Amino acid sequence: MWPSLISKAKEGGLDVIQTYVFWNLHEPQPGQYDFSGRNDLVRFIKEIEAQGLYACLRIGPFIEAEWTYGGFPFWLHDFPGIVYRSDNEPFKFYMQNFTTKIVKMMKSESLFASQGGPIILSQIENEYGNIEAAFKKKGVSYVRWAAKMAVELQTGVPWIMCKQIDAPDPIINTCNGMRCGETFSGPNSPNKPSLWTENWTSFYQVYGGKPYIRSAEDIAFHVALFIARINGSYINYYMYHGGTNLGRTGAAYVTTSYYDQSPLDEYGLIRQPKWGHLKELHAAMKQCSATLLQGVRTNFSLGQYQEAYVFQEETRGGCVAFLTNYDGLHNVTVQFHNTSFELLPKSISILRDCETVIFNTAKVNTEQHNKRILKRTQKFDSRDSWKEFKDVLPKIEDTSLESNTFLEHMNTTKDKSDYLWYTLRFEHNLSCTEPVLHVESFGHVAHAYLNNIYIVSSHAYFSAKHRLIRSCTWKS
């Protein structure tokens, strides 16, 4: 599927394909590497190059990505004294080994831009700023070590760290999110560009949760705002193409379908109007690229919730304007260069030569709409056509492992299963006429039975900010 997917991205106006590197796929056992088939990273990068595009290689090696174990191979878990993503010698040893392996592989095929290849950026670590404070001094020193280690690999292209405001020079700190034009504080050094590593085109879905639908208009608005307000020079869509997390590859809570609302959906099919609307935006940006790169940026107010961002070339006289309406409810008419312009609610009009509107983020071509139509093309009559994974639920009489406390999941399952089943019995005080069982858990779901009769279930809905607590109570 790679050639077709990359071709659709190119047709949609993209210049760069960004990819993670999945450590647990490429090094399933220490020192044993797999770059065959769909793990053939070199072939993937060369396909990008063959279609005339650039690449951003996010090595990590921690990638998150709503991927099992964040991309770490499980065998790391059992090394004595290891502490992940910290100034910890065992972890740093294996992290450096894998990072070096990937860089050497790319160098040997001349794939870095410094060698004439397509890779223009590489990333070390991933959103570490979210957890750095938890490691205190060892978090700070780990960031410095990771940056130094990466730079010393001498790729000849810049390294980035996303969501890392303390990224040491020359590492470039980048933004992730949906509104980086509003939320990004900018590069932490004047000699670094403004880069947006992840512009979330929707959001991953969790079991029990509803799909997050982000409109094409909203994505386009924030892309244009990032360029206009932050001098943005690189914006990556996360995801531009989603996919399917088959088997046990998805992280906890995350559904098999991943970013199905992307411009290229879960199956790699074009999703309109997102794909087409963003294609028009990309074309407009390329019409203005020389002035955006060489012009001097100024901004001024056009009204209470309206603003103009203007790029003006001093030598050639080129001019590009972004007329911005932050009001999400009303059309507004503004005066710019002695001309009236009507701005749609929450929109940005892009003016080539500061005169002609060549794109408006809120104006979607009515012909750019499609819908997914499902029809049966093949009927599976044999059970052999399907593979089913079943986890054996133990009976209390047959359990070989007993504990008076909760067990650490990974130490117990050794990554052979995503599930750690607890089974217990209790006998209540017969003098209590209304006994209550109260369950506090960080688990996903609880099912309660009384004397083999189903009583109640509770679903622990995923939230990154709130503790997962649900109660199951009943009267006897």
Distance CA 157, CA 155 (A): 5
Catalytic residues: 127, 198
| Residues 45 and 103 sit within 8 Å (Cβ to Cβ) | no
Residue located via tokens 């770490």: 72
CA torsion, points 459, 464, 465, 469, in degrees to nearest 10?
20
- The residue among 127, 229, 130, 238 whose CA lies nearest residue 178 is 238
What residues contact 57, with CB distance under 8 A and at least 6 apart?
Answer: 19, 21, 45, 102, 106, 119, 121, 122, 123
* Phi, psi dihedral angles at 411 (to 5 degrees): -60, -30
Distance CA 197, CA 234 (A): 8
Distance CA 261, CA 215 (A): 9
| Residues 78 and 40 sit within 8 Å (Cβ to Cβ) | no
- Bridge partners of 29, per DSSP, are 32
Distance CA 147, CA 158 (A): 11
* Phi, psi dihedral angles at 187 (to 5 degrees): -60, 150
Q: Side-chain half-sphere of 429: how many Cα atoms within 13 Å? A: 5
Distance CA 34, CA 22 (A): 11
| Residues 217 and 362 sit within 8 Å (Cβ to Cβ) | yes
- The residue among 212, 264, 210, 258 whose CA lies nearest residue 237 is 264
Distance CA 327, CA 329 (A): 6
